[in-house]
Amino acid sequence: MMKPGAGEEDVQVLVERPYSHENRRPPDHHPVPRQGQQLIRARPYYRRWSPWLVSAATVACVALFLVTMYVNDCPKHNSNCAAGFLGRFAFQPLKENPLLGPSSATLVKMGALHVYKVVHGRQGWRLITCMWLHAGVVHLLINMLCLVFIGIRLEQEFGFARIGLVYLISGFGGSLMSALFIRSSVVSVGASGALFGLIGSMLSELITNWSLYANKAAALASLVLVIAVNLALGILPHVDNFAHIGGLVSGFLLGFVFLVRPQFAWLDHQRMVAAAAAAAAASGGAPPPPPPAGAAGGAVKRKHKTYQYVLWAAAAVLLVVGFAVATVLLFRGYNANEHCSWCRYLSCVPTKRWKCDSSPT
Q: Which residues are catalytic?
A: 192, 244
**Which residues have C-beta within 8 Å of that of residue 159, sequence separation ≥ 6?**
6, 49
**Which residue(s) pair with 11 in the sheet?**
44
Distance (Å) of CA 149 to CA 54, 206, 306, 312: 10, 18, 33, 27
The radius of gyration computed from the CA coordinates of the chain, to the nearest angstrom, equals 27
Length of the chain: 361
Which amino acid, residue 123? Q
**Which residues have C-beta within 8 Å of that of residue 46, sequence separation ≥ 6?**
3, 4, 5, 9, 157
Closest CA relative to residue 187, chosen from 129, 92, 110, 115: 115
Given CA atoms 91, 95, 97, 100 in this order, what sign does their dihedral have? Answer: positive
| Neighbour count for residue 324 (Cβ, 10 Å) | 10
Helix (H, G, I), strand (E, B) or coil at 257: helix
Report the distance separating Cα 312 and Cα 309, nearest Å: 5
Closest CA relative to residue 302, chosen from 270, 273, 257, 255: 270
Report the distance separating Cα 59 and Cα 40, nearest Å: 46
Report the distance separating Cα 323 and Cα 327, nearest Å: 6
**Which residues have C-beta within 8 Å of that of residue 233, sequence separation ≥ 6?**
239
Helix (H, G, I), strand (E, B) or coil at 43: strand
User: CB of 180 within 8 A of CB of 326?
Assistant: yes
Report the distance separating Cα 347 and Cα 356, nearest Å: 9
| CA quadruple 247, 250, 253, 254: dihedral, nearest 10 | -90
